[in-house]
């Protein structure tokens, strides 16, 4: 092999394993070497003192390619802490369904969790109890969030592929910032059993990978009905790799005018327009369309998401597991445990959500937000009757500098303005690289499709990827 194994895609490694040219242990050792060399700069992984090996105590199957996993996905026998002090030391007694599926497919969990915003609350991976993650393209910039650790690890070749969770863009936005591929599946396509909940009606686990083929492979592995998850949908799972390499001539693509307005960085706009021209040359047709309720997406999201978060996080009180302030008075123990255990952003969202659900405000805020959410979903449903896919920027900007927006929560929340609507509507969306800014930071292209139509997303994304070189670019880290 001319290249280090950690730099290869999963499908390249699978081919090497089948031919007997390498062993799974070779892959793990290559990854460990890379992590030990550079992760002190990136901080993509949450590692404990005294943990000598990232592979842990797992037996390595013969055809295994290690999958890195976000710190809010339960792994039996391994710390799962949502990068929060309040869950410090929590070791789940069971695997999340996606972890079970990964093991059943012959692969394995890479024995260290990836860093994230605490309880997935953030767009920058700065809100972690274990410190901020840095973007491998520029260590002074954020990798996006909340799945920034998974995205940074894949981009820096510290991971072959990874799992993240996406509540309002937390897979797609960091994939955009780090110049890789990230997909939010249709709500219900992938089991949420074992995912520590942020907002239950929005959360979805999905793949973060180096290219579109790996994304299709990993989605196939983790998808499927799960009786342990009441929101899991019982429909067949296709072989997504069969959608790759198809002719996209005749594809009808809508470009919503609401996504190309003031606030979109000119350099991002230039890259997206270039991607549109490339797809036109490949035979796809484009038309300007409208998603008229887009302007309400951010406020609707932050009412619904914080309301659900305040309910989901009520269980973390120091009684059953995790951090506990051992005060003699029960009420004071609750207050001090939650006051010391949660970070600032978690407290902010719990308070916002509790307010939205409180007596006298439930109808005015939460119930009204649910009604507008339906209007947003209806906008998409109407367009998908005429169009195969919708194309937008993933984020209005490329990665911003660390601490640039941390003092202004509203400005930070707007980082997800182009990704939130897909979660509210429950539709699938992918981000893939489509260029760079003048400062050398990646720009992401977002493709959306109707419910359970990930195959069209993969067809379009793969056609674009294979006719460009962006996915082959690597960060300048040594």
**Residue-wise pLDDT tens digits, 70-98:** 999 999 999 999 999 999 989 999 999 99
Q: In this structure, how many other beta carbons lie within 10 angstroms of the beta carbon of residue 276?
A: 18
> Which amino acids are annotated catalytic?
70, 146, 170
Q: What is the pLDDT of residue 327?
A: 76
Q: What is the pLDDT of residue 403?
A: 96
Q: What is the pLDDT of residue 326?
A: 83
d(CA 71, CA 277) in angstroms, rounded, equals 39
Q: Which of 348, 70, 76, 312 is nearest to 197 (CA)?
A: 312
Q: What is the pLDDT of residue 183?
A: 98
> Is the pLDDT score of 217 beyond 60?
yes
Q: In this structure, how many other beta carbons lie within 10 angstroms of the beta carbon of residue 325?
A: 15
Reading phi first (left if > 0) and then psi (alpha if -120 to 50, else beta), residue 43 is in left
**Residue-wise pLDDT tens digits, 172-213:** 999 999 999 999 999 999 999 999 999 999 999 999 999 999
Domains of the chain: 5-247+429-472 (3.90.1300.10)
Q: Full-prediction pTM beyond 0.85? A: yes
Q: Which two tokens stand for residue 90?
A: 């929590």
Q: Which two tokens stand for residue 478?
A: 């040594």
- The dihedral of CA 70, 75, 79, 82: what is its sign? positive
Report the share of the chain in percent with pLDDT over 70. 96
Query: What is the spatial order of strands in the sheet that 108-114 belongs to?
Result: 45-46, 108-114, 66-70, 161-165, 205-209, 181-184, 429-436, 442-448, 389-393, 252-256, 285-289
Average pLDDT over residues 55-79: 83
Q: Which of 196, 202, 155, 190 is nearest to 174 (CA)?
A: 155
Q: Which two tokens stand for residue 467?
A: 């006719």
- The dihedral of CA 363, 367, 371, 373: what is its sign? positive
Cα-based torsion angle of the residue sequence 13, 15, 19, 21 in order, rounded to the nearest 10 degrees? -20
**Residue-wise pLDDT tens digits, 379-428:** 999 999 999 999 999 999 999 999 999 888 888 988 899 999 999 999 99
Q: What is the pLDDT of residue 176?
A: 98
**Residue-wise pLDDT tens digits, 92-140:** 999 999 999 999 999 988 878 999 999 999 999 999 999 999 999 999 9
- φ, ψ for residue 207, nearest 5 deg: -85, 145
Q: What is the pLDDT of residue 415?
A: 86
Q: What is the pLDDT of residue 339?
A: 94
**Residue-wise pLDDT tens digits, 301-341:** 999 999 999 999 999 998 888 898 887 788 889 899 999 99
Confidence band (pLDDT; 50, 70, 90) for 62?
low
Q: What is the pLDDT of residue 52?
A: 41
d(CA 312, CA 286) in angstroms, rounded, equals 42
Q: What is the pLDDT of residue 50?
A: 40
Q: Which of 73, 82, 92 is nearest to 46 (CA)?
A: 82
Q: What is the pLDDT of residue 210?
A: 98
What is the 3-class SS of the chain, one letter each residue?
CCCCHHHCCHHHHHHHHHCCCCCHHHHHHHHHHHHHHHHHHHCCEECCCCCCCCCCCCCCCCCCCEEEEECCECECCECCCCCCHHHCCCCCCCCCHHHHHHHHCCCEEEEEEECCCHHHCCCCCCCCCCCCCCECCECCECCCCCCHHHHHHHHCCCCCEEEEECCCCCCHHHHHHHCCEEEECCCCCECCCCECCCCCCCCCEEEEECCHHHHHHHHHHHECCCCCCCCCCCCCCCCHHHHCCCCCCCCEEEEEHHHCCCCCCHHHHHHHHHHHHHHHHCCCEEEEECCCCHHHHHHHHHHHHHHHHHHHHHHCCCCCCCCCCCCCCHHHHHHHHHHHHCCHHHHHHHHHHHHHHCCCCHHHHHHHHHHHHHHHHHHHHHHCCCCCEEEEECCCCCCCECCCCCCCHHHHHHHHCCCHHHHHHCCCEEEEEEEECCCCCEEEEEEECCCCCHHHHHHHHHHHHHCCCHHHCCCCCC
Report the share of the chain in percent with pLDDT over 90. 86
Q: What is the pLDDT of residue 54?
A: 57
Q: What does the angle CA 203 – CA 204 – CA 208 come to, to the nearest 5 degrees?
A: 130
> Is the pLDDT score of 1 beyond 60?
no
> Is the pLDDT score of 2 beyond 60?
no
d(CA 153, CA 54) in angstroms, rounded, equals 13
Average pLDDT over residues 366-381: 98
Instruction: Check if the beta carbon of residue 89 is closer than 8 Å to that of residue 82.
Output: no
């Amino acid at each position: 092999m001319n290249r280090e194994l950690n730099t290869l895609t999963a499908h390249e490694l699978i081919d090497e394993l089948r031919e007997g040219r390498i062993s799974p242990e070779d892959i793990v050792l290559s990854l460990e070497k890379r992590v030990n060399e550079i992760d002190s700069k990136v901080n993509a992984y949450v590692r404990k003192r005294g943990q000598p090996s990232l592979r842990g105590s797992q037996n390595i199957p013969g055809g295994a390619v290690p999958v890195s996993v976000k710190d809010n996905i339960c792994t039996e026998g391994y710390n799962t802490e949502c990068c929060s002090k309040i869950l410090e030391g929590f070791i789940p007694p069971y695997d999340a369904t996606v972890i079970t599926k990964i093991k059943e497919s012959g692969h394995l969990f890479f024995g260290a969790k990836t860093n994230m915003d605490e309880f997935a609350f953030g767009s920058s991976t700065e809100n972690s109890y274990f410190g901020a993650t840095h973007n491998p393209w520029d260590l002074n910039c954020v990798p996006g969030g909340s799945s920034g650790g998974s995205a940074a690890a894949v981009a820096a070749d510290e991971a072959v592929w990874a799992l993240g969770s996406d509540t309002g863009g937390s897979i797609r936005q960091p994939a955009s910032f780090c110049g890789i591929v990230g997909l939010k599946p249709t709500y219900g396509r992938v089991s949420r059993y074992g995912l520590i909940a942020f907002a239950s009606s929005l959360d979805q686990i999905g793949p973060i990978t180096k290219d579109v083929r790996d994304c299709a492979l990993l989605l196939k592995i983790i998808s499927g009905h799960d009786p342990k998850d009441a929101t899991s949908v019982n429909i067949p799972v296709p072989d997504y790799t069969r959608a790759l390499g198809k002719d996209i001539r005749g594809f009808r693509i809508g470009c919503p005018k609401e996504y190309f307005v003031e606030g979109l960085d000119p350099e991002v706009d230039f890259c997206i327009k270039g991607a549109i021209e490339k797809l036109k040359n490949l035979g796809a047709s484009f038309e300007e369309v409208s998603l008229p309720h887009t302007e309400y997406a951010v406020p609707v999201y932050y009412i619904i998401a914080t309301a659900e978060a305040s309910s989901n996080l009520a269980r973390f009180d120091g009684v059953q597991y995790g951090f506990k302030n051992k005060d003699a008075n029960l009420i004071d123990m609750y207050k001090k445990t939650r006051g010391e255990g949660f970070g600032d952003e978690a407290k902010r969202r719990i308070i916002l959500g509790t307010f939205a659900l409180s007596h006298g405000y439930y109808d005015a805020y939460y119930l009204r937000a649910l009604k507008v959410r339906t209007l947003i979903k209806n906008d998409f449903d109407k367009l998908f009757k005429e169009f195969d896919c919708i194309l937008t920027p993933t984020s209005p900007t490329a990665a911003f500098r660390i601490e640039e927006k941390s003092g202004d929560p509203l400005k930070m929340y707007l980082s997800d303005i182009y990704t939130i609507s897909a979660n509210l509507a429950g539709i699938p969306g992918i981000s893939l690289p489509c260029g760079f800014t003048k400062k050398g930071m990646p720009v992401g292209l977002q493709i959306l499709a109707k419910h359970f139509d990930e195959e069209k997303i993969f067809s379009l994304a793969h056609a674009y990827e294979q006719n460009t070189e962006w996915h082959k670019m690597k960060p300048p880290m040594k």
